[in-house]
Amino acid sequence: MTSGRKLFGTDGVRGEAGTFLTAELATALGRAATASLEVKRPQVLIVRDTRESGPMLESALAAGIAAAGGDALLGGVLPTPAAAILVKRLGLDLAAVVSASHNPYRDNGIKFFSAQGTKLDDETEARMESLIEAEAGTAEPGHVRELNGGLEDYLRALEVAFPLDLSGHTVMLDCANGATFRAAPAIFERLGATVEAIAVEPDGRNINDGCGSTHLGLLADRVASSEATIGFAFDGDGDRVLAVDRNGRTHDGDELIALAARGMSARGELGGGVAVTVMSNYGFHQAMDEAGIEVAITQVGDRYVLDELRERGWSLGGEQSGHIIDTRFVATGDGTAAALATMRDLGGRDLGEVTPMRKLPQTLVNVEVADRDAIAGATAVWEAVEREGEALEGRGRVLLRPSGTEPLVRVMAEAPSAEEAEAVCERLVALVRQELT
């Protein structure tokens, strides 16, 4: 079925639904995940986003769970972080999320959370892959049933964690026609905000389509022409968020993390430093240095940020893309929680007038390649990366890495001026194309 191919990437198993991610593979994943649990009659929660392939994969995954002797609890459409919260709150053994996050609707994915609400480590995922390849054992079949009240449990958890009074605030929410289309407007309204919501009419195919955190133009235009003082854009599964101020200027994850770090530090809540990935802007590091806040750097992926936080005993971390983790609430990125935290840390101020960091101009190009892993042996490319990095030392930086989920090599340059960043990036992109395409 898998032909020896590694299934798990940086965020679960992801690919085109019906071709790579088939019902057969979803069933095998459900069976393997359940068989890997050393408990009798495992209880496994399944939630999904709004893609048209979601119900099919949800059913196949549930069939695999039941075939391996577990009970599958169907939570329906809920944001990814709700799974991490509910698996702990309800005392379940595992949670599975059927979603491809920010990818187009044709893709889908399956990722898992442990009983502690954390993403599975590499060793557990490798064990699951080996179980998929092995012959299926026999077990007394489990059951598949609906789980009611999951959305309300999630909203209640948010309300307890963020006891805010947002009356007087008008907030624009872009829910990407995805998993937050009910939850995000509901919690902001519950806390007293006037909510203007867009991209809240999912049809199975419009998830992330010209909207959400990967297409901020829609939100920026709507906020700038409305009474809203701030806007938030979520991705398809709701584990990331980006913001837009009243003038339509966008603010990425680095800026929101910097705002949260400064606020938590001032309140004595930070409990150490902050963990971010190698993609974080050079200006973020400068701002944290000025604030006396220690920064730990990880590889790309919010799971690695979480590993670093747990190892150091810290609570705050995240990614430039908008995955923001505060382990005091949940041990994964939560876009809705991060949006509420931003409202808390702004304290009534205008996001456009707050400067938690000064971003260096950054150019990022995704280069399509036949084999993203071939970059490891591209000596000429890495020699050029080293030269460009030395030329920018103390002023900026370069970064080149393969995508963990797509056939892409990401090339990034940061420099004091946009022109220099673009020039550096263009040289490296041309070399990558020459060597790998």
Closest-CA residue to 301 (of 42, 14, 106): 14
Q: How wide is the angle at C-alpha 324 spanned by C-alphas 266 and 152, nearest 5°? A: 105
CATH classification for the domain delimited by 362-436, as one of 3.40.50.11540, 3.30.310.50, 1.20.950.20, 3.30.56.10: 3.30.310.50
Q: Which residues contact 131 (CB under 8 A, 6 or more apart)?
A: 31, 32, 35, 36
Catalytic sites, residue numbers = 101
The Cα-based distances of 60 to 22, 64, 103, 132, 245 in angstroms read 9, 6, 21, 14, 42
DSSP H helices in 15-79:
23-35, 54-67
Note the CATH architecture for domain 13-148: 3-Layer(aba) Sandwich (3.40)
The Cα-based distances of 35 to 42, 134, 191 in angstroms read 9, 11, 42
Q: Where are the domains of the chain?
A: 13-148, 153-353, 362-436
Per residue of the chain (437 residues), give pLDDT as tens: 444 457 998 789 999 999 999 999 999 999 999 999 989 999 999 999 999 999 999 999 999 999 999 999 999 999 999 999 999 999 999 999 999 999 999 999 999 999 999 999 889 999 999 888 776 667 789 999 999 999 999 999 999 999 999 999 999 999 999 999 999 999 999 999 999 999 999 999 999 999 999 999 999 999 999 999 999 999 999 999 999 999 999 999 999 999 999 999 999 999 899 999 998 999 999 999 999 999 999 998 888 999 999 999 999 999 999 999 999 999 999 999 999 999 999 999 999 999 899 999 999 999 999 888 899 999 999 999 999 999 999 889 999 988 876 889 999 999 999 999 999 999 999 999 999 87
The Cα-based distances of 310 to 68, 305, 313, 355 in angstroms read 32, 9, 5, 29
As a 3-state breakdown, the chain gives helix, strand, coil percent values, each rounded to 5, of: 40, 20, 40
Strand partners, 113: 95, 119
**End-to-end CA gap in the chain:** 28
C-alpha 372 chain-centroid distance: 21
Global pTM reads 0.90
Rounded to whole angstroms, the Cα distance separating 228 from 330 reads 28
- The 3 state secondary structure assigned to 399-416 is EEEECCCCCEEEEEEECC
Instruction: Count other Cβ atoms within 10 Å, centred on residue 289.
Output: 11
On the 0-12 / 13-18 / 19+ scale of CB atoms within 10 A, 126 is middle
Work out the angle between the directed axes of helices 150-161 and 80-89 (0-180°, nearest 10). 90
Kindly give the pairing relationship between strand 230-234 and strand 241-245. Answer: antiparallel
Check if 13-148 and 153-353 are the same fold.
yes
Contact 385, 411 (CB under 8 A): no
Contact 320, 399 (CB under 8 A): no
Side chain identity, residue 203: D
* CATH class label, 153-353: alpha beta
Residues, the chain: 437
Contact 150, 82 (CB under 8 A): yes
Contact 243, 269 (CB under 8 A): no
